[in-house]
Structure 1
């Protein structure tokens, strides 16, 4: 299962892109059964949660890419767990973005082997310091491992190929969620130069180059499956996680200004079609999923888990899926479509979900879209079959349809919203010790997420929910810089090595921090900070159960920031 990051439906030459060349993915498209009305979430972490659970992402606790709302509820069951229980070897290589500490990591959630990085982008705050796409420290089942002079996409496919080679004699589930072509748009010149030669703008040329690299690696992987003699009995799935980020520029109403978007309105983050319609190619020769056949039924990421349970004859999990088993549609055993099916997507990016924010209700014919943060702010109704570009608002002309779809939204909101008040806590005193905690998981209304927010010392704060697994004495280590930067709280840091189109990797700004304060539950401690101290450490005796953590670093001007990094160690029982 190959899941690319920020590659939209139009970012393939087989879908009509006039610049991009994707010969290997075009070949897979030509060989596969294609879901042509296939939808994901408008942003990445929610798509990953929905894909791996077969449930609407909001039900799993994931409706954002930051503020701790990317951490998937502990009680969810993943596709990997069901494959493993059915005797499959399971491995994932690439972007996880569903939690960075126990029990949320990929190898805690059914993947026997994993190689990944912190956060949602190489170089985000939970990631190893100064990681980039060519030089990085990744984590193999939680153990840091350095990869120098190797491009991220090559690492993921090399590791996935090695995993397949080790397990070629048994059933395996290999999940390859690439971080490319998500920005920063950083790729070897040999991939982007052909697009620069076509006068494609430089950022888009790099974006296309990152897709060209993925395309090359997909072809190599498929050829290796053939060399191993297992290609005919291996299901290969290719899909994207949201609308395009770099392939199209749009105006404030979501219409195309420049680039290519397959005639769709909106892009990544938007509730319109271009924000969430994506590719889904499924190829399995021995299962008769081949031949370049289209299935135009309304479908979504949540359908793949129940479909794979049937296709692979897995042990039937006792799970409440939101998705549907599409096996009969894929194999041709069912010709009629479920015309009454309703799907809903939304984009929150909030700590607490807001009703009626940036959503689209979909049937096979109709789309009801409300835009707020992303778009003109109107409620619009479209006949999708007659108006795939979503140009003509029929809200006033079809009031009964609009009312019906609004009723469907209300029912969906009730269905997914039962646990909106819950938070996924950070567990301490459990199987991982110490536990790194970062401001990426702060709950609050602003939210920091990238290392370029830490370097200039942006002012922000939030709180973390904690679950104390076992009672005892805990040490809390407050830092402005992460451990692997090994720098004093007040110190500056040199600029990061050049990454294209990222101008914010300035030298880390020196902060005149004078006081550190910490609050755990109702207990509070503080201490002065010396110029050369790299950390301030506090100890608390904590009972088992839930609590709340807040930190405060006050500078000489009285400005208060939270500690960007906290390390929690259970010292003794």
Structure 2
């Protein structure tokens, strides 16, 4: 009897503690958690039609909102530059066609710097592409690699030193990159939920960017499904599911399969091809597991209603890796020394094929155009292009205290330049004209808060891009695309044809010229080269 009374008393105290935490959370400014994947295709996660198991990301969509027309910059460094500063990447030192260039902080500030100055606890884990330290750019805590070259998921390699705050960090023997990012995100978040400050956590994953490195148990879980059905079958299944989910209109056609991709039925190396997609899927699922741990901490702390969680990708799926088996690639060949990249001197087995499948620590491979085309279903193009498959990202947002219409799908247009404005708006922090003796450029982004709260916002009149393979301009439903090397502009009506299957430039030359003029005006204004 005494034991039962003691247990009841303890449970009562625990309930009071959670209730107290929830009440305290409701009276302070909202927390923000921003999770970004690297090279994730538009349709890879379940809530956008994918067959990869992503229950945690899908839960954000179920309890929150999905964006169907949200844009990035088609490649990692430029996207991160825009996301962190609220500016076009060209305004802060990126040409837009290169993966990693130093940002010019003379005229910008990061989200973390402004939130930190506004009283937030700021934390980051994962891919940091700056030449300086993240803790010198507004983050109170940081863990991750200083990404200046290609990375391994299992070992320390050249030009990618790991840091924990300011200190060099030695990789343990059982290291796996995505797990380490997840574990430090959990540690930092656990510290933050017990503090009185509101917090901002930025989780910048490297997965599922190549190389295809994953644990065997995770790959095995997907092996059979991709052996039984290939890219053609899964692409059709994703399209059907997308129409059922309402993330694309029923009248949109599937973008044509690139001519150099052969039928799955004609492939002579199906087991190897399946292994590539299985390794990729394993990398994606590892991201989702980590997100689940973060959501559990937020829930247990009683702060779920007061925490905005966002998930997106830095560009579309990457076509690298070839369509057929190879004997070399990514700087590794049978005729060169392949033992200088890893710090432990272990050589990489060059190429990929039936006798050298992806996944293990001593391989370096990617999944190729055919699977990338599946990842971006039903959109045209891939990473580095200006077509929707290159610049369109899933964006899922959950904020129970503010997003009332749960499970909503919005077609309102947004861009990664809007993330800074959104975070500041949510945090009630003003964007300054000067910061730490820097005169800041006016912010280009616009807050997504009205959309999250169920309203139509006054969006961007025009959006422009200069990405590795194209120049792009969008105004309303109209989008024009030109090869970066020059040539004719294409014109697409994204409302009727979001998969960009019908070029209307010859039918509407004046509209095409008008959009091209707006691009050139933008290019001059932001000093794009």
**SS of 1:83's equivalent?**
helix
Q: Which residue of 2 aligns with 1:237?
A: 310
Shift of 1:249: 8.5
Q: Which residue of 2 aligns with 1:79?
A: 111
Shift in Å at residue 194 of structure 1?
Answer: 2.3
Aligned to 1:12: 45
Give the corresponding residue for 2:524. Answer: 414
Per the alignment, residue 163 of structure 1 pairs with 188
Q: Does 1:304 align with 2:389?
A: no
Residues 38 and 280, structure 1, Cα contact 8 Å, conserved in 2: yes
Please state how far the C-alpha of 1:128 moved relative to its aligned partner: 5.3
1:399 to 509, 517, 522: 509
Counterpart check, 1:262 vs 2:262: no
- Residue by residue over 1:84-109, the C-alpha shift from the partner in whole angstroms, topping out at 9 and shown as x without a partner, is 00111111110011x22xxx321111
Task: Give the structure 2 partner of residue 210 of structure 1.
Answer: 283
Q: Normalising by structure 2, report the TM-score.
A: 0.69
Please show how residues 174-573 of structure 1 align to structure 2 within 5 Å: 174-198=201-225, 199=227, 201-245=274-318, 259-288=374-403, 291-318=406-433, 319=440, 320-332=442-454, 334-335=455-456, 338=459, 341-348=461-468, 358-372=470-484, 378-417=488-527
Deviation of 1:341 after TM superposition, in Å, equals 1.8
State the match for 2:64 in structure 1. 32
Give, in whole Å, the separation in 1 of the partners of 2:92 and 2:396.
Answer: 25
Distance 1:298 1:288 in 2: 18
Superposed displacement of residue 137, structure 1: 5.6
* Match of residue 261 from structure 2: none
CA distance in structure 1 between the aligned counterparts of 2:187 and 2:295, rounded to whole angstroms = 13
**Per-residue Cα deviation, 1:521-556 (whole angstroms, up to 9, x for no partner):** xxxxxxxxxxxxxxxxxxxxxxxxxxxxxxxxxxxx
- 1:320-358 deviation digits (Å, cap 9, x = unpaired): 1111122222212x33664x721112214xxxxxxxx61
SS of alignment partner, residue 170 of structure 2: strand
Partners of 1:35 and 1:248 lie apart in 2 by 30
Deviation, structure 1 residue 111? 0.8
Change over 3 Å in CA distance of 1:181–1:317 after alignment to 2: same
Contact 1:90-1:174 within 8 A present in 2 as well: yes
Does the 8 Å contact 1:43/1:242 carry over to 2? yes
Larger deviation, residues 319-328 vs 2-11:
319-328
**Structure 1 residue 111 and structure 2 residue 139: aligned?**
yes
Per the TM alignment, residue 258 of structure 1 is displaced from its structure 2 partner at its CA by 5.5
In 1: Cα distance, 2:61 partner to 2:151 partner:
32
Give the match for residue 363 of structure 2: none
Change (3 A) 1:273 1:393: same
Q: 1:34–1:294: 8 Å Cα contact kept in structure 2?
A: yes
Could you tell me whether the CA contact under 8 Å between 2:466 and 2:484 is conserved in 1? no
Query: Which residue does the alignment assign to 2:28?
Result: none
CA deviation digits over 1:25-67, x for unaligned, max 9? Answer: 1111111222221000010000000000000011110235869
Greater CA deviation, 239-248 or 178-187?
239-248
Q: 1:411 to 1:66 in 2, by over 3 A?
A: closer
Output the CA distance in 1 between the equivalents of 2:201 and 2:165: 15
1:411-467, Cα deviation, whole Å (9 max, x unpaired): 11011107x6xxxxxxxxxxxxxxxxxxxxxxxxxxxxxxxxxxxxxxxxxxxxxxx
Tell me the distance in 1 between the aligned counterparts of 2:476 and 2:448: 15
Q: Which ranges of structure 1 fall in alignment gaps of 5 or more residues?
A: 349-356, 421-573
Q: CA deviation at 1:5?
A: 0.6
SS at match of 2:412: strand
Tell me the alpha carbon deviations over residues 184-233 of structure 1, each in whole angstroms, 9 at most, x when there is no partner: 11011222212211116222211111001111111121112111222221
Deviation at 1:20, TM superposition (A): 1.8
> May I ask how many residue pairs the two structures share in their alignment?
393
Residues 260 and 84 of structure 1: CA distance in aligned 2, closer, same or farther (over 3 Å)? closer
How far 1:392 moved relative to its partner?
1.0
Q: Which gives a bigger RCO, structure 1 or 2 (Cα 8 Å, sep 6+)?
A: 2
Structure 1 residues 272 and 228 mapped into 2: Cα distance closer, same or farther (>3 Å)?
A: same
Taking structure 1 as reference, are residues 377 and 256 closer, same or farther at Cα in structure 2, changes over 3 Å only? Answer: farther
1:139 is paired with a residue whose SS is strand
Contact 2:86 2:421 survives alignment (8 Å)? yes
1:2 to 35, 51, 58: 35
Give yes or no for contact 2:82–2:417 (8 Å, CA) kept in 1. Answer: yes
In the alignment, what sits opposite 2:251? none
Match of 1:154 in 2: 179
Offset at residue 272 of structure 1 (A): 0.7
Native 8 Å contact 1:44 1:65 kept in 2: no
Mapped partners of 2:182, 2:371: distance in 1: 33
The 1:32/1:63 distance shift into structure 2, 3 A limit, reads farther
Contact 1:207 1:246 in 2 (8 A): no
Of 108, 118, 143, 2:167 maps to 143
1:261 is displaced (CA, Å) by 2.0
CA RMSD of aligned residues (A): 2.8
